[in-house]
A and B are shown apart, each in its own frame.
Chain A
Amino acid sequence: MTRMLFVVGVTLMSLAAAPQQQGVNPFAQAMVDFKHRVGEYMKLRDEITRKVPEVKETGNPAKISAREKAVGEAIATARVNAKPGDIFGADMVGYFKQILAEDWKSRSPADRKALFNELPRGVQIRINQAYPSTLPLVSVPPNLLAMLPMLPETLEYRLIDRYMLLRDRDANLVIDVLSNVLPQRDR
């Protein structure tokens, strides 16, 4: 309930903060635009994956990693000019940051410490980079996921260092990055 109220609160704040067309909820519009951008990415992805043979279950992990690499490279090539925020969207960045900040505030000191313990540090992340296989995929808190906009199954939010990423799960590819969204460790 608290979290629902928070989302409502975010919506109301946004109504007050930004100039708007009459009858248009800017948060709702930003959400529509975000979903549209995700949809565009999925269209591109579908075109690419149609050309790369699908891997069903196999006992040969080489086939799995080869497909992951092929899909990742093809997407990176197709999005070679992608910049941070291309999918998250300038109009949504504030909302994402606010959701993350609110989620952080709601956590106990022990919970924060546990999350910090898990987050890899000193990592530079860029778009079109394969997520490093030597780093853990830190669990994204379910209560945070419940507040973030839903994504198609193949995409996921990930937290690493102070970043939030959009990751293409089966391509193991970073497709967008939000920087400095998590607090510094000494706070």
Chain B
Amino acid sequence: MLMRVPYLVSAAALLGGLTSVGGLTSIGGTATEVVVAPAMPSAVTALQRSAAPPAPATQVAPPVEKDSVRFAIIGDTGTGTSSQYEIGAQLTQARQTFPFEFVIMLGDNIYGSERPQDFVNKFEKPYQTLLDAKVPFYAALGNHDDPTQRYYKPFNMNGERYYTFTKGNARFFVLDSNYMDPTQIKWLEEQLSRANDHWKIAYFHHPLYSSGEKHGSEVDLRTQLEPLFMKYGVDVVFAGHEHFYERIKPQNGIYYFIEGGSAKLRKGDIRKGGPLTANGFDTDFTFMLAELGKDAMRFQVLSRNGKPVDAGTLQLAAEPKRAAEDKPASR
């Protein structure tokens, strides 16, 4: 019996009058559908193609709920290239309309050498405005990250490869998917079993589900993590590694997002017509914004040009809050 089922109820509201842009990928200047199959046919308003002109970042939709948890999501960022700086500028601009409180980083925070100046050029400068505004970043480790990054204060990892933190009614579980040893899995289960938070969000670098041609789904990791996510009611999972944006069709009641295109891009890497994709975008750099409300998560994805790429609302069915131990074993 599923008690909490997130489902996508609406996209148009978040696009502020634009009917949509989701499901599009540009190939040689033309737009084609990646996948338009609704995420959950009974409850989804599928995003439709639109002939609307590109929307500037100022059309970022504002938050809907008063006391919601608002955050930005970026992945595979640490290149120090112009694309990273452009996304940094977009984040700053978006925050004027959508005042997110913190940023989560999905790994590959610093590519290549990790000299002190690399932390400046590949993190501090691109996000200078946000750092100056005291917006905290919470990093996960990617396969290009030296694990000693966990001692770098601006990443807020408390010296740990994997950790958890709460914001409002949400608990975030930040994992080190490079090295998912039995100790980490045991820790995760202990943390999940104790958590009574309304929202349970997990994020880490390697995606459990992916339509990427180069990497694809991390099946091995999935066999270890997905049963725990299902057992303890994780609602949404974010990952990077793949250098594009993808929203996966719900898997066992859980929503999976890939946002690994915030400074790296693997153009055309999303397998066309793949069974997993609810929406995908692999032709430009992107970032995400999300709002966790009482019973809904609203998300929007924007490109470095401020164009909306995807948006929607994941609605949790009404449920009396119960202790984690009392939750059903499956969802």
Interface set of A (CB-CB < 8 Å, partner B): 55-62, 64-65, 68, 108, 110-111, 114, 117-118, 133-134, 136-146, 150-151, 153, 156, 169-170, 172
Contact = CB atoms under 8 A, between A and B. Distances in A.
B258 to A, nearest CB: 15
Q: Which 6 A-B pairs have the closest CB atoms?
A: A142-B180, A62-B116, A141-B220, A61-B119, A136-B143, A59-B153
A145 B158 contact: no
B181 A142 contact: yes
User: What is the interface residue range for chain B against chain A?
Assistant: 35 or more
Contacts of B221: 139, 141-142
A138 B241 CA distance: 12
Contact of B151 (A55, A111, A150, A153): A55
B152 interface: yes
A142 B159 CA distance: 22
Given A114-B216, A133-B113, A134-B112, A57 B148 contact: no
Contacts of A136: 143-144
A58 B151 contact: yes
Nearest to A156: B179
A111 B219 contact: yes
Contacts of B143: 118, 136-139
A143 B223 contact: yes
B182 A65 contact: no
Nearest to A117: B214
A140 B178 contact: yes
Given A133-B114, A139-B178, A141-B220, A64 B152 contact: yes
B115 interface: yes
B177 A61 contact: no
Nearest to B185: A142
A137 B161 CA distance: 14
Contact of B116 (A61, A142, A172): A61
A177 to B, nearest CB: 18
Given A139-B143, A139-B179, A146-B224, 13 more contacts: A56-B151, A56-B159, A57-B152, A58-B151, A58-B153, A68-B148, A114-B215, A117-B215, A136-B144, A137-B144, A137-B145, A139-B177, A146-B182
Contacts of A114: 215-216
A146 B181 CA distance: 7
B183 interface: yes
Contacts of A110: 216
A151 B148 CA distance: 18
Given A56-B159, A111-B220, A145 B151 contact: no
B147 interface: yes
A186 to B, nearest CB: 19
Interface in B206-236: 206, 214-216, 218-221, 223-224
Contact of B224 (A62, A111, A137, A143): A143
26 contacts: A55-B151, A57-B152, A61-B118, A61-B119, A64-B148, A64-B151, A65-B148, A68-B148, A111-B219, A118-B143, A118-B215, A133-B112, A133-B114, A133-B146, A134-B113, A137-B143, A137-B147, A137-B178, A139-B177, A139-B218, A140-B179, A141-B220, A143-B224, A144-B220, A150-B183, A153-B183
Interface centre among B148, B178, B220, B224 (most CB of A within 10 A): B220
A153 B187 CA distance: 13
A148 B5 CA distance: 37
Contacts of B145: 137
A111 B219 CA distance: 8
Nearest to A108: B219
A59 B157 CA distance: 12
B152 A58 contact: yes
Contacts of A169: 147-148
A143 B119 CA distance: 33
